[in-house]
Every structure is written in structure tokens, then in C-alpha cells.
Chain A
């Protein structure tokens, strides 16, 4: 597990509110299927994300990335560091 200290300017994608934008700095987590899937869907450093909304029950969330809509759970969003 890579340790990452979240600085003042940085937050995780989970903390972003509806309508807020950010740029991905890093995806945390060990190498493997879950992380690769996030990468494959375009969650790589430099990509801009916009949080559209949360599902009616609060989780998962919907984001706009690389010109399309993607949904992921907060558990996964927590591993994505945003500036």
C-alpha cells in the first residue's frame, strides 16, 4: 500500500461535492484488477473530473470524465486524489 499524505490543496474524489471539479493527481491502491479498471476508464493523472451527483441512496456517485459519464462507488472514489 502506497502511503500518501493529502496536502491542503488535495482532496479525494469522494470529498468533492456535486458540481465541483478537480484534476486527478494519483490513484491510490495496490496494482491489480480494481486499479487497472479505474485506469482503463480514464482515471489517470491530469484528467479533469466533474462530480454530477450521488445516487438517491447516497452512493455510488456519477462523474463526468474525458467527455463521458462514469459511475463508481465512494469506496473507489476515496482512492482517487484530486487537486
Chain B
């Protein structure tokens, strides 16, 4: 059995850096059971012993109100790691120790890793480790995780603790942290109420404290009777009367009194709170009343033009050429050489390679985008963007943190949905995910380009722009609507740390980028692979499983025919449009190539004149606009679908998202077509 060390710390304390430093590249990233919060595990590299490192979510407290905090707490209580390594930002000890104290309250083996010692030295602050160790009664090891300094010493210390100390059943420090009245009430509960509980209590001291605090999760877990709760209430009310505060406040207050006291004794700060640090000076510009928004927009524009402009599109062309020409041709020649059947050749080359290729072409672009996002996040700018934009987004019932995902949505829905991970409120996150697909992504452009060239040759830009606005308008209205109906809930508070600006390390950025990109390739890859095969199958065979020469005779054609009437009220009830929209599920730009195939135009692109002529016989400007609006709003592509499923971690919500967007698409296209017809357009 390997020893288990759990890493716990505040967000932005360098926890991920330390985790990567300890485990190297052997980490496993998954999700905690039931929630989409990342779970990372890895083997410790720097020591001989067999040690498993578990990275717990970044948290400020062990309160019962956030998913991350509950996960961290449950893990420590149920899995009983041998040592809890608490990473503390050395430049911000006072607040970081609030969590440290709660870990000590749990009565587990805690080793404090005092991180960012280089920054502490650079600031000219002095920290007395002896005083810290004396006050907290746990080992404190100074480290600089970003430079790998002190990490081996930290692991050795933790190992030492794991091998010598037996986990104490309660915390002797409790008396020193909390004032006499609180301690007295805890002891009363421990002696009088804990023994009467039906469930066996592992950690009576901590449990008593939680019961005193009125922690509902602990009450539920132990099935505390109403009678006992009433008894506890007496202790709570006594304290509340005495301190004129509610019980949670009393306990939080008491903890902070202790951390303030320890910090005052052990830390000698050189600078005053009102002195401007480098971070403050950068902030003077970045969050300046006048400059903040233009600067933000300029930065986003810069990122977009690199990711989706020349650099990004050249990577698309490169991968496209590599997969669809070089590899496809090579594999085809191999298959032909081996005498494989025609259907098999078509399945492998057209179905699998083509289908996977349609996803792979986006990988470099997504990586580039994630690289920039990693820079924004690791420098600390992301928090400022949320600070600047919060006011606008609150009108939609969202918070400032939703802004970045929405913007990325104009590039590609997949990374946009993935970047909602920075939102800690589950409802905000769901709502953001549901709205992101309405931001018109890059893959929808070919559809607009084709139809505007055919029907709005004189106002192409204006028409395309109007579609982007349509998407935004639908998102705004949906935000208001959903927040009032299925995603009802109180407005999530916006209380967020603005971490000091830091210069990210290249290694850190690469790890960050790769962590996210890998997930896309793996998970989306498996689903897309399966779907590509299925769709290929459907368009290659008819119902008696014979290969067809005309797509209209295939199963897909039959399905197209069957569902075409649904689109008739929208103005495009022909089976070709229905099938094109179906294949748009593989990738939105596939609508164009499918239209080409179905109208008998080979190698269709958005500017091919044959296809434009063919479309003019089927569509009118009005139905073309309704079709474009539908293409914009209806179910997101397969890659986006897979990502939404992964991030929502719920089929129900994924289907709600897809159903909602498709329903809205139908209604909007209906209104455009019928309304336009009534107003005399055609």
C-alpha cells in the first residue's frame, strides 16, 4: 500500500505547480465522482518510497457551501490520507492560515509548505518559522515550488510525519485557537451529545465543533435527531447572545483572531497595505476607468486574430492537407494495394479518416487558444477581466467570470465550454454553457459565406454581421429567460480574490495548455470517431444494407425525407436541406459540402458558382436567411456536443441544452420566414 499525501491549499497558492513538480509527468487526471471538478493523482518522483499524491481542489475554507470544499473535506475524512500537505502562499499568510487552522481542527497530520519564499524575500519580508511551528504545532517547510526549491525537504518531512506520528483523534490545539466559551460548548457537545448519537463518530472533537457551527452536511451524515439538534441549539443561542453574532460568524471570527495573532508575531512586513506594489501599478493601467475596457477588447482582438486569423487558419490548412491528402491518399493506396473492398476503402478513408480529420483540424487552433488562455489565467489577468465585465453580465443573471467563455465562443464552442471551469457556481456554469453555442463560431462562417454570396451579394458583410447580432440577442434573451425558469436561483455573490500579477513560467503554461487540450482530443475523439462511422454508414447504405450510388436512396436520405416536413414551415422543406442540417452535426461547415454533394456539385466550397446557381432554384433570399438563422442556432456540432456532455456531466442537462437550442432555432427561423412572408418579403 502506498502512502497517501493530499495537497490542500487556496486557489493561486501554487498548488498545481507543486503537484507537477512532485509528480512529474505521471499524473492521472479525472473527475471526482458525480461532479466535473478535476481529480488529479500522481506518484511522487523525488523520493524512494511509494507515495501517491492527491491534488484536492483549490479552496479557501472547509465550509459546507461549495462543491470543492465538500469534496476536499469528505476526502480527508473518509480516505484518511497519511499526511495533508497544506500549501500556503508565503506572501499572504494571514488569509491562507484560515484554511490551515481548519485542517488542524480536523485532527489530521498536517505539514505546512510555505510557498513563494522567493517572492517573500524579494518583498523584503521576514517570516519566523520557529514561531509559526510553535503556534501551529505542525512542521512548516519553506519552499519555492516554481523553482523546485525545498520540495525534496518537504516530502522528507511529510514522510517522517507519516511514519512516526499516529493520527491524533482530536486536535489539542483547539483550546488555543478558539476562545474559552467556544471550547466549553464544544466539550459539552462532545461529552453529552456525541455519545447519544446512533452513528459511530470517527472524530468526536471536530464533529462537535461542526455541530456547534450548525453544519448541515454533518447533521445529515450522522442523522442527528431533532432532540439532539434542539440541545445543540441551546449552546448555539447562548453563544449568539453572548457575542451578539450568529454562530458561524462567531467561529469564523475566532479563527481569524488566531491567524491574525500568529501572523503578527511571526511575520515582519516591510511594506504597508497602502504602499503600491508592482501589481498595483499594473492594475492602475489595466483596470483604469477609461483604459480598462478598450485594453480588454484590444487584448481579445489580438488573441482572436492570432488564433482564428492567419496563424490559426494556416494550421487548419496544414492539418487538413496532412490528413485529407497525404494520409488519406497513402492509406487509400495501401488499401487498394491490399485489394480491400470498395466499401471498406470508403469507410476507412471517407468515414474514419475524414470524420476524425474534421475534428483534428481544430486541435492546433484549440491549443493556441488554450495557450493564450493559460497566459491570461497564470498572469492573473483573467480575474481582472471578470472584475471589469461583471456589471454588464449581471444583467443576464451571470457574473463577470462568464465573459471569457462567451467571447471564446465566437471562435469555437468547444474550448469556450471547457473554459467555463473557472466558474465556481454550478448554476452560473450551466447557464453559461447553454448560452455559449449561440455565439456564432468560426465553423458557421462557410455557411453564411455560401448563402450570402448566392442571395445577398450586395450586402454580404451586413447580413453576416446581423447573424452575429442575432446570436447575441438570442443569448441575452435566453439568459434572462432561463434564469427566471429552469435555472432559477438567488444571484450568486461575486466575491473573488484578485491575485497579484505573476510572470508565468513557460513550463507551467505548456502543462496548463496540454492538460486541457488532451481532454478534448481524448474524450471528444472517442465520441466523434463513433459518430463519424455511424453517419458514414447511414449515407453509404440503404435499408437493405446495399451500397447506394445516389445519396437520396441512402438511409440518411430516407431520414432526410422523413424529417423534411418539420422544416417546411421554416421555408426549406426539401430533403437536401434536411440532410445537410443533419450532417451539420458532424461539423457545421459540413452543411456546405453536403449541399454540394446532394445538388450534384463535386468539391463544393462556399464560392462555387455551380452550387450557387443550384441553390437559387431552391431558396429565396427570405428562406436563405431563415436557413442561415437555423444553422446558427440549432444543435451544436458533435465536438461541442461531446464537450457539453463532458462538462455538464449529465445527460439530462446536455439534452436540455441541445433541445433548447434546436427549439429556439426552429422558432426563430419560423418567425423570420412567416413574419417576412407577411411583410411581403420573399
- A41 engages B95 (CB within 8 Å): yes
Q: Is the CB of B65 within 8 A of A53?
A: no
B residues 499-518 in Cβ contact with A at 8 Å = 499-500
Contact A67 B249 (CB under 8 A): no
A:30-83 near B, CB below 8 Å: 30-42, 44-48, 50, 52-53, 55-60, 62, 64, 66-73, 75-76
Top 8 nearest A-B pairs (CB, nearest first) are A57-B391, A39-B252, A40-B61, A33-B65, A69-B498, A56-B292, A66-B94, A44-B256
Q: Is B457 an interface residue (CB 8 A)?
A: no
Q: Are A48 and B273 in contact (CB under 8 A)?
A: yes
Check A72–B246 contact: CB distance below 8 A.
Answer: no
> Are A34 and B493 touching (Cβ within 8 A)?
yes
Report the bound CA distance from A38 to B65 in whole Å. Answer: 12
Interface residue? A26 (CB, 8 A):
yes
Q: A31-B214, A62-B287 are in contact. Are A41 and B497 (CB under 8 A)?
A: yes
Q: Could you tell me if A36 and B63 are in contact, using CB atoms closer than 8 angstroms? A: yes
Q: Do residues A44 and B249 form an inter-chain contact, with CB atoms below 8 A?
A: yes
For the complex formed, measure the closest distance between the CB of A77 and the CB atoms of chain B, giving whole angstroms.
Answer: 10
Q: How far is the CA of A33 from the CA of B490 in the complex (A)?
A: 11
Interface residues of B (CB under 8 A from A): 60-61, 63, 65-66, 91-95, 98, 214, 245-249, 252-253, 256-257, 260, 269, 273-274, 279-280, 283, 287-290, 292-293, 383, 387-388, 390-392, 394, 400, 491, 493-500
Grouping DSSP codes into helix (H, G, I), strand (E, B) and loop, the A interface class, with mixed when no group exceeds half, is mixed
Q: Which residue of B lies closest to A42 (CB)?
A: B95
Decide yes or no whether A23 CB sits under 8 A from chain B: no
Tell which of B290, B493, B498 touches A73, judged by Cβ atoms closer than 8 Å.
B493
Cβ of B246: which chain A residues have Cβ within 8 Å of it?
2, 30-31, 35
Residues in A neighbouring B394, C-beta threshold 8 A: 73
Which of B292, B383, B388, B498: most chain A Cβ within 10 A?
B498
Q: How far is the CA of A80 from the CA of B63 in the complex (A)?
A: 20
- In the bound complex, residues from chain A placing their C-beta under 8 Å from that of B500 are 68-69
Task: Collect the chain B residues with CB atoms within 8 Å of residue A50's CB.
Answer: 273-274
Chain A residues positioned under 8 Å from B493 (CB to CB): 33-34, 37-38, 72-73, 76
Complex Cα spacing A57 to B91, Å: 30
Give the complex CA separation of A66 and B97 in angstroms: 11
Q: How far is the CB of B628 from chain A (nearest CB, A)?
A: 33
Query: How far apart sit A70 and B403, CA to CA, in the bound complex (Å)?
Result: 19
Q: Is B94 touching A71 in the complex (CB atoms < 8 A)?
A: no
Q: Is the CB of A58 within 8 A of B391?
A: yes
B249 and A27 within 8 A (CB): yes
- Distance from B333 Cβ to chain A, minimum over Cβ atoms (Å): 60
A60 touches B497 (CB 8 A): no
Residue of B253, B273, B292, B390 near A67 (CB, 8 A) is B273
**Among candidates A30, A37, A42, A62, residue contacting B65 with C-beta atoms closer than 8 Å:** A37
CA distance A57 to B260 in the complex (A): 34
